[in-house]
Amino acid sequence: MASPQPFALTASAIAAQVRAQDASAVEICEFYVKRTAAHAQTLNTHLFFDADDVKAQARAIDQRVRSGETLPLAGVPVVVKDNISTKGVPTTCGSKILAGFRPPYDAHVVERLRAAGAVIFAKANCDEFAMGSSNENSAYGVVKNPWNINCVPGGSSGGSAAAVAADLAPIALGSDTGGSIRQPAALCGVAGLKPTYGRVSRYGLVAYGSSLDQIGPMARTVQDIALVTDVISGHDGRDSTSSKLAATELASALKPGESVRGLKIGLVREFFGEGMDQATRAAVTAAIETYKSLGAVVEELSLPALKYSIAAYYILATAEASANLARFDGVRYGHRHQEPGMSLKSMYRKSRSAGFGREVKQRIMLGTFALSSGYYDAYYAKANRARQTIANDFARAFQQVDLLVSPTSPTVAFKIGEKSQDPLAMYLADICTIAANLAGLPGISIPCGADPQGLPIGLQLMAPQFAEEKLLKGAYAYEQASQWHQRHPSL
Amino acid sequence: MSKPASGTSGTQASDSVLARYEPVIGLEVHCQLKTASKLFCGCSTKFGALPNHHTCPVCLGMPGVLPVLNAQVVDYAVRMALAIGAQVAEVSVFARKQYFYPDLPKGYQITQYDLPYCSGGGVRLSSGKFVNMTRIHIEEDAGKNVHADSASFVDLNRAGIPLIEIVSQPELASPDEAADYLKRLRSLVRALDISDGNLEEGSFRCDANVSIRPIGQKTLGTRCEIKNLNSFRNIEKAIGYEILRQADVLDNGGAIKQQTLQFDAGTGRTSAMRSKEDSHDYRYFPDPDLGPLRISKERVAVIRAALPELPEAMAERFKREHGLNDYDAALLTSDRDLAHYYEKTLKLVGAKVQPKIVANWITSEFLREVNTREWNLAAPPLTAEHLAELLRLIGDETISGKIAKTVFETMVSEGGAPAEIVKAKGLVQVSDTGAIIAVIDKVLDASPKQVADYLGGAEKLIGFFVGAVMKESGGKMNPGLVNKVLKERLEARKK
Amino acid sequence: MPLKIDQELVLHVAGLANLELSADETRYYEAQLKKVLDYIGMLDAMPDELGPAWRSDTLGPATLERPDAEVASLDPEVALAGAPQKVGSAFQVPRIIE
């Protein structure tokens, strides 16, 4: 048996080796268990990790391989964001209100991963209920950026991004409501895809903004993103918003050396506004030059409604969240404040006030306000109109171009604590990513550079709904022409 | 809260009050649809399971779960809309109605708000008055809270059960009308086979909006909502009481306070619900987990074509084809199972028994037993087969109608097939002319004066002779034959 | 949008959401919501291209419908496994006053 070199391996390579029985799932997992033991605590990436359970899963997968099953993700360790339900395994959403909660069911994506031979390796730290852009809102402490542990990893899927960046697993699942996959992927120097709304079932994803949430993969390469997307996408009868389209077949569509000559890429003026740091601007500009050199046609265009996207997002996402988080009431599961003789009302209020963190309470209140009597039309209804207007702008843009390009985040990873007091500064970190959620578009972030301190910079590409193939082909072309995805942080 | 003058009770909304005030009543009926599974998940809808034995992550409101609409609910709901002549919306929307209560697992109820699937239509009362409907919408039920001294307990078996809420216009003018409206609605949902309409098990529940206004006043008075009325009797009593209470407040110069009330069947009074004191801001918004409900014209057409016969149409048919009167036709069609029982019996009796006879037996003898013995009309212990057999025995003159009543009583009290009862008790009718002549002659011989009077022209004495003959024979003689032979024997004595 | 964010509004909204706020928290959220809602006020200036009849909730594909088939429920022990308080197979809460 050839000695496995997982550190340099992609999920595609691991699965191929395990399928061919050149390496066992157990061996692969042992490597990642070791790295996890060495680094997960420092980085605070994991909220749940059980090495014995990982080994048991790996043994079962080896058994399935020996019995002749062809598993697309054979033996691939996957770190799953902690707002995705895992049967019998704690799922806290980074919140105290769900401390110790073990769901009685697996999310659709977790079922798909297990069926495909993946190892559900660990549960990743995240901003509480996916509300945040820095991971500072986790009740279980901030995740550290593997490139600089004084910096945030981005959020809300910060644990997932940092785990992949630190090679604690080749694959992680995140969720993206306003950029929560793409922004931390960018800040940690890995690839992250937010699929089209409806592409991946939300069954088992603890809802934040239901009309915006999508689960997606984070990985080192576009090929791995494609591989995992193929596994988790496709119709699910348990999610009424799940598209009737069949699962994607992206992995086989990506062909090394395929030309992007003639591909029309739109450069959105509004995404290159103030607040962008120098290194980011330079890296993205260089990436655009690379596309030009590959034969793509780049044109600048304007989507004037984009300037309303953050305002619309913070109404719609929080309005939906205010209802979605009403179920955390201390009645059936989760934290309950205990006090002799307390009233029902007091139980509700004290349980929720103690169980939710500061930012979550703020967003619940903002959303409650936006839906409350007398304010609905001025806020919720108006935000929906903004959302449609933004979607219309995108539709017009995609009549001219195939893909849109922008930085994923206007800045590289910022220092822990730097923005945590200013809600708007934090919200503006999502300025480039939020619009794709509002319009339901697929978007991907891939590494495209680093600042002078080595902090990663991400390039975002967006495509029309359900055009993941076009999107990934575009990303793949750049990845092949660059080396940024091959950088690893030194730990 | 002020109380009405002592001695008034809900059922006697006193004439003096009704002479001065006009009640305006609108009803909201929550009707459970009889699907196998819940509205948004696959859990069973069966009544009577142990607490939380019919629950899953979806209806428990676990984190991460999503609702998926039960198609049968939509079909049933459309059936109801068509039956009351209402409009079925091509697009309607599910919304979240938000409030905290332990029986509401998600902290919101999925219901329909400003775009319900059904609007308009109406129901005709037995008086002929037409009551217009505002709307019907689809929604999920809440669970059940049970209260003990120191704690409450939550059972979510009912959470997520499919309901339609049927909202009438405020056009009902009395407790009687309200009860009649409800009975009509109940017979309708049962005829449509979309609900059990079972008030006791809570599959048919009613909230009443009651206001009164001085007669002649155009504007409506302030209304109060009485929640969760669970029997026809309580509905009448509660509304009757509430009318008197409001009249009492107004008579004493007070103002009606808009509030939510509960009715205590024990005391016969309504009282304010403390839990509903907070003014609610339900923060409705479209449920992002569900797309718009689109009901195509084609789907509506398919449901319309399969619509069962409705009580009103069935009553018309019974009158037209069976020659029944209004009363019998209305009574027999007031309940789907009763109508089925009638039609089944009629089919089994054959041509010798008139529908009118079948109807009479069911509306009098049979229904009397149903009411006193609380029989389940869907499966009464006295089967249609047995009743039909009994009526056939009358039809072919094996027994008389009078004997049939005795046989019926035995069937009710002891069970058994009528033919066997007749045989075992020797109740077969005597149609042997020789035997009849013998008895008649004996009676005539014993009554020479009456015979002479009869022959002298007092022909109404025939009844006296028939009675005497039947008595002599223990009622077993064929009355038609007795009549015929008696006349012959009397005529013979003329000579 | 003439909107006045004050403590009363903050407490009203917190009440609707069943959140209990200390005096400090009330002041904190008052300031935070003021900032955020000030920013969100920019929506007032958005040119409207949709027309007055437009509404968001009737767009999009029809909601999924499933056949009416009963599926096994959870084992009640599993259903109540996370319950903070239970009696038998029922969830227990402080006494509800109706």
Give residues with Cβ within 8 angstroms of B428, minimum separation 6. Answer: B398, B399, B422, B476
Q: How far apart are CA B441 and CA A416, in angstroms?
A: 122
Determine the Cα–Cα distance for residues B242 and B224; give it in Å rounded to an integer. 9
> Do the Cβ atoms of A210 and B108 come within 8 Å?
no
Reading chain C (98 residues) residue by residue, the pLDDT tens digits are 457 889 999 999 999 999 999 999 999 999 999 999 999 999 999 999 999 999 999 999 999 999 999 999 999 999 999 999 999 999 999 998 76
Residues in chain B: 495
Nearest to A190 by CA among A208, A176, A169: A169
Please report the pLDDT score of residue B5 as a whole number. 42
Residue C59's closest chain B neighbor by CA?
B292
Of all residues in chain C, the one with the smallest CA distance to B100 is C18
Q: Exactly one of A12, A180, A243, A445 is catalytic; which is it? A: A180
User: Which pLDDT does position A7 carry in this prediction?
Assistant: 60
A81 classed as catalytic: yes
- pLDDT exceeds 90 at position B424: no
Nearest to A368 among C17, C36, C81 (CB): C17
Nearest CA in chain C to B45: C70
Residue-wise pLDDT for B209-256, tens only, equals 999 999 999 999 999 999 989 889 999 999 999 999 999 999 999 999
Q: How far is CA A108 from CA B94, B242, B351, B455, in A?
A: 24, 53, 64, 99
Which chains lie within 8 Å of chain C at 3 or more CB pairs, if any? A, B
Among the listed residues A95, A133, A156, A157, the single catalytic one is A156
A278, A282, A299, A301, A307 from A271: Cα distances, Å: 14, 14, 14, 10, 9
Answer yes or no: do A85 and B283 touch at CB < 8 A.
Answer: no
Assembly ipTM = 0.97
Q: Count interface pairs A-C at CB distance under 8 A.
A: 139
Q: What is the pLDDT of residues A253-285, one digit of tens each?
A: 999 999 999 999 999 999 998 789 999 999 999
Cβ contact A31:A6 at 8 Å: yes
Q: Does B94 contact C at CB distance below 8 Å?
A: yes
The pLDDT score that the predictor gives to residue B12 is 53
Type of residue found at A345:
K
Q: How far apart are CA B233 and CA A329, in angstroms?
A: 38
pLDDT at B10: 42
| B51 touches C at CB < 8 Å | yes
Q: Which chains touch A (3 or more CB pairs under 8 A)?
A: B, C
pLDDT digits (tens, 9 = 90+) for B247-285: 999 999 999 999 999 999 899 999 988 665 556 899 999
Mapped onto helix, strand or coil, the DSSP state of residue C87 is strand
CB-closest option in A332, A344, A353 to C94: A344
pTM for the model stands at 0.90
Average pLDDT, stretch B386-396? 91
For A341, which residue in chain B has the nearest alpha carbon?
A: B150
Structure tokens at A13: 């390579």
What value, to the nearest 5°, has the Cα angle with vertex B415 and ends B412 and B421? 100
Q: What are B327-363's pLDDT values in tens digits? A: 999 899 988 889 999 999 999 998 888 999 999 999 9
Q: Which chains touch B (3 or more CB pairs under 8 A)?
A: A, C
Q: Say yes or no for a CB contact (<8 Å) between C18 and A349.
A: yes
C70 contacts in B (CB within 8 Å)?
36-37, 42-44
What distance in Å separates residue C57's CA from the closest CA in chain A? 9
3-state secondary structure A294-330: CCCEEEEECCHHHHHHHHHHHHHHHHHHHHHHHHCCC
Burial zone of A294 (CB within 10 Å; 0-12 exposed, 13-18 middle, 19+ buried): middle
Whether residue B147 and residue C96 make contact (CB cut-off 8 A), yes or no, is yes
Cα separation, B304 vs B315, in Å, equals 20
Q: For the CA atoms of chain B, what is the radius of gyration?
A: 30
Q: List chain B residues with CB under 8 Å of C79.
A: 52, 55-56, 60
A140 Cβ contact partners less than 8 Å away, ≥ 6 residues apart: A44, A47, A92, A94, A125
Residue A111's pLDDT band, with cuts at 50, 70 and 90, is very high
CB distance C50–A385 less than 8 Å?
A: yes
Over residues A289-317, the mean pLDDT reads: 97
- What's the rounded Cα separation, in Å, for the pair A169 and A77? 6
Contacts of B41 in chain A (CB under 8 A): none
Catalytic-labelled residue, pool A24, A81, A85, A95: A81
Residue A336 has pLDDT above 80, yes or no: yes
CB contact under 8 A, B108 and A326: yes
Euclidean distance between CA atoms A219 and A206, whole angstroms: 22
Helix or strand (DSSP H, E) at B272: strand B269-272
Q: Does the distance separating the beta carbons of C18 and A336 come in below 8 Å?
A: no
Q: What is the mean pLDDT of residues A145-171?
A: 97
Q: Work out the end-to-end distance of chain A between its first and last CA atoms, rounded to an integer number of angstroms.
A: 29
Q: Is B56 in Cβ contact with C88 (below 8 Å)?
A: no
pLDDT in tens, A59-98: 999 999 999 999 999 999 999 999 999 999 999 999 999 9
C53 part of contact set with chain B, CB < 8 Å: no
Q: Report yes or no: A122 and A46 within 8 Å, Cβ to Cβ.
A: yes
Of all residues in chain A, the one with the smallest CA distance to C96 is A344
pLDDT for the residue A126: 98
Contact between B281 and B247 under an 8 Å Cβ cutoff? The reply is no
Q: Does A409 qualify as catalytic in the annotation?
A: no
Centre a 10 Å sphere on the Cβ of residue C43 and count the other Cβ atoms it contains.
Answer: 18
* SS3 of residue B437 by DSSP: helix
| B85–chain A Cβ distance below 8 A for any pair | no
Could you give the 3-state DSSP secondary structure of residue A168? coil
Task: From B128, B87, B66, select the one nearest B312 (Cα to Cα).
Answer: B128
Which chain A residues are closer than 8 Å to B62 by Cβ? 85, 103-105, 332-333
DSSP A348-411: HHHHHHHHS-HHHHHHHHHHHHHHSTTTTIIIIIHHHHHHHHHHHHHHHHHHH-SEEEEESSSS
What pLDDT digit, counting tens, does each position of B129-185 carry? Answer: 999 999 999 999 999 999 998 899 999 999 999 999 999 999 999 999 999 999 999
Cα separation of B281 and B275, whole Å? Answer: 14
Q: How many Cβ atoms sit within 10 Å of the Cβ of residue B321?
A: 9
Q: What is the DSSP letter of B10?
A: G
**B61 touching chain C per CB within 8 A:** no
> Chain C within 8 Å of B110 (Cβ-Cβ)?
no
Q: Is C68 within 8 Å of B71 when comparing Cβ atoms? A: yes
Max Cα–Cα distance, chain C, nearest Å:
59
Q: Do A327 and B106 touch (CB under 8 A)?
A: yes
Residue of A nearest to B278 (CA): A345
| Rounded CA separation C74/A243 (Å) | 28
List chain A residues with CB under 8 Å of B114. none
Cβ neighbour number for residue A415 with a 10 Å cutoff? 13
Instruction: Based on the residue annotation, tell me whether A156 is a catalytic residue of this protein.
Output: yes
Closest-CA distance, C93 to chain A, in angstroms, reads 7
A386 lies within 8 A of chain C by CB: yes
Name the residue of chain B whose CA is nearest to C61's CA: B291
Six-digit token pair at C18? 């069943």
Using CA atoms, how far residue A347 sits from A330, A357, B62, B73, C94, in Å, is 8, 17, 19, 36, 8
pLDDT tens digits, residue range B89-104?
A: 999 999 999 999 999 9
Residue C90 is nearest to which of B71, B91, B153, comparing CB atoms? B153
Which of A241, A324, A351 is most worth mutating to test chain B (most B CB atoms within 10 A of its CB)?
Answer: A324
Give chain B's count of helices (H) and strands (E): 17, 18
A3: pLDDT strictly greater than 80: no
Q: What is the pLDDT of residue A100?
A: 93
Reported as a pLDDT band with limits 50, 70 and 90, residue B24 is very high
**pLDDT for residue B478 is more than 90:** no
- Whether the per-residue pLDDT at A159 is higher than 80: the answer is yes
